[in-house]
Amino acid sequence: MFNYTTQWIHQTIGPLVTAIIVCLIFAKIGIPVAWLIGSLIAGIGYALVAGTPIKPPPILLTIGKAIIGIVAAARFSPDNLMIVATYILPLILALGITGSLSMLNGYLIARWSGIKLITCLLGAIPGTASANVAISSEFGAEPPIVAVLQYLRVLLVVLIVPTVAGIIAGLIVPESQVLAEVNIANTSAPISTVSMIWNLVILGLCCILGIWTGNTFNLPTQGFLGSFLWGLFLFGFFPDEYRVPRPLILLALLFIGLSAGLKFNWQHIVVLRRALILEIVLVLLLISGCIGIGYGIHSITNIGLVTAILAFAPGGMEAMIATSNQLGGDTGIVLTIKFINQLLIIFSVNYLRSFLQYYKTREK
């Protein structure tokens, strides 16, 4: 009993308290998306001090994803689909370029580090990180290395892209105007007659049903997509009755950032230091390229700059959607483009699997 309590404090209570303190400090000094960046850095620091990766209860990340799914549903509109459909060709082209840059990263890491090509390619594919790790052994890749490469990319993306987007949002309009845009729905929509407690109960029920739906039907981005679908049902039938309160969004950012940060493994960094130094440089170049692509899409479409940058970030879907909501971006467009990207990734991975199976058959 004592060991269980100690383990619970070490893996859950300690990291959460540390992350909350860091997030409050970051929010006080005005760091963009403070609850995401702060919890991420707190998780990394806690794992470094512990000397080993910490395994918090998986339900924390699942709850965080479920809440972000509800947030995305609340901000989603059929108009988003119309905007994306209007510019579908340049958007698909831009997604293809970002995917190609990611694959080029994997190829260069394999070429210059001596790691197997298939391992580096799976480690470089943006999105569906956990799925890529899970299926890596089927491809003859090395799961631990795939996990490290995927994690490092997600870590850098979640750390850098929201920060850049926050700085850009502050340059485009004053911070007070950004906050006003984020909260405009609360001021212009009819006042809800639903009590806060009942509001939270219904939102919690949607999250529970979303998690159950994701587990039952094995949906991608477990927790997120199921909650998004139930959220669409809720806000579709009751568009003015229910709200996602800001503290709930901050809680989701806390769980997502902390869960990512606690996976930091210094031992893997030391063992793969040559490949990881190269990976860091290449991912930074990839992020810069994706930001450039986002700016290009912004220039030729009516999509806002912050929205475009977040939509074309190489991975971190839930974090980018949450950041969009925090900075007053068009969350629905970010969500739609990310979903299209996920479909392209699933198609590409399945094509890669078929190609490798065919290649192995030819070798026999």
**Tens-digit pLDDT profile for residues 151-169:** 888 889 998 999 898 888 7
**Tens-digit pLDDT profile for residues 318-331:** 889 988 888 878 88
pLDDT at 117: 86
Share of the chain above pLDDT 90, in %: 34
Average pLDDT for the chain: 83
Cα 291 from chain centroid (whole Å): 16
pLDDT at 262: 87
Greater pLDDT, 274 or 250: 250
Cα–Cα distances in angstroms (integers) from residue 221 to residues 41, 122, 300, 318, 350, in the given order: 23, 17, 31, 9, 17
Has residue 353 got a pLDDT over 70? Answer: no
Cα–Cα distances in angstroms (integers) from residue 231 to residues 71, 212, 350, in the given order: 8, 14, 30
Q: How many CB atoms lie within 10 A of CB 302?
A: 10
pLDDT band, residue 115 (cuts 50/70/90): confident
Taking residues 60-89, report their average pLDDT: 89
**Closest Cα to residue 233, out of 210, 215, 267?**
210
**Tens-digit pLDDT profile for residues 137-146:** 777 788 878 8
pLDDT at 174: 46
Has residue 116 got a pLDDT over 50? Answer: yes
pLDDT at 316: 84
Has residue 229 got a pLDDT over 90? Answer: yes
Share of the chain above pLDDT 70, in %: 83
Residue 357 in contact with residue 118, Cβ under 8 Å? no
Has residue 5 got a pLDDT over 60? Answer: no
Q: In this structure, what are the phi and psi dihedrals at residue 192, rounded to the nearest 5 degrees?
A: -75, 140
**Tens-digit pLDDT profile for residues 9-31:** 667 888 999 999 999 999 999 88
| 187 Cβ neighbours under 8 A, 6+ residues apart | none
**Closest Cα to residue 279, out of 83, 109, 92, 103?**
109
Structure tokens at 219: 């949906």
Has residue 188 got a pLDDT over 50? Answer: no
How far is 295 from 310, CA to CA, in rounded Å?
A: 10
pLDDT at 83: 83
pLDDT at 76: 86
| 15 Cβ neighbours under 8 A, 6+ residues apart | 42, 43, 46, 54, 56, 258, 262
How far is 123 from 145, CA to CA, in rounded Å?
A: 7
pTM listed for this prediction: 0.85
pLDDT at 228: 92
Count Cβ atoms within 10 A of the Cβ of residue 264 and give its class: 0-12 exposed, 13-18 middle, 19 or more buried: buried
pLDDT at 358: 65
pLDDT at 9: 63
Q: In this structure, what are the phi and psi dihedrals at residue 313, rounded to the nearest 5 degrees?
A: -65, 140
| 226 Cβ neighbours under 8 A, 6+ residues apart | 66, 69, 209, 210, 211, 212, 213, 214, 217, 219
DSSP 138: G
pLDDT at 150: 87
Structure tokens at 331: 């969350």
Q: What is the largest CA-CA distance in the chain?
A: 69
